[in-house]
Amino acid sequence: MTRAVSLITVVFAAAITAGTPILYASLGELISERAGVLNLGVEGMMLVGAVLLSWCW
């Protein structure tokens, strides 16, 4: 029983960690949409940022 709880806890923590950048990008897009700016390149900007970060790190 404790192994299952531990596994669920680890998976939940990993899901939160992996989903945080997507959450930030979607919140930024939501705010810009509310301001009247149409930005369709959010996923591309996230990808370029990740590549540059890994290249510069």
Model confidence, pTM: 0.63
Containing domain of residue 6, as a range? 2-56
- Greater confidence (10 vs 26) lies with 10
Q: 39 with 32: CB under 8 angstroms?
A: yes
Report pLDDT for 40.
81
Query: Domain tally for the chain?
Result: 1
Q: 42 with 25: CB under 8 angstroms?
A: yes
CA–CA distance, 40 with 45 (Å, rounded to integer) = 10
Among 55, 57, 50, which residue's Cα sits nearest to residue 22? 50
Q: Does the structure show a pLDDT above 90 at 48?
A: no
Q: Does the structure show a pLDDT above 80 at 36?
A: yes
| 11-32 pLDDT tens trace | 999 999 988 888 888 888 888 8
Report pLDDT for 56.
82
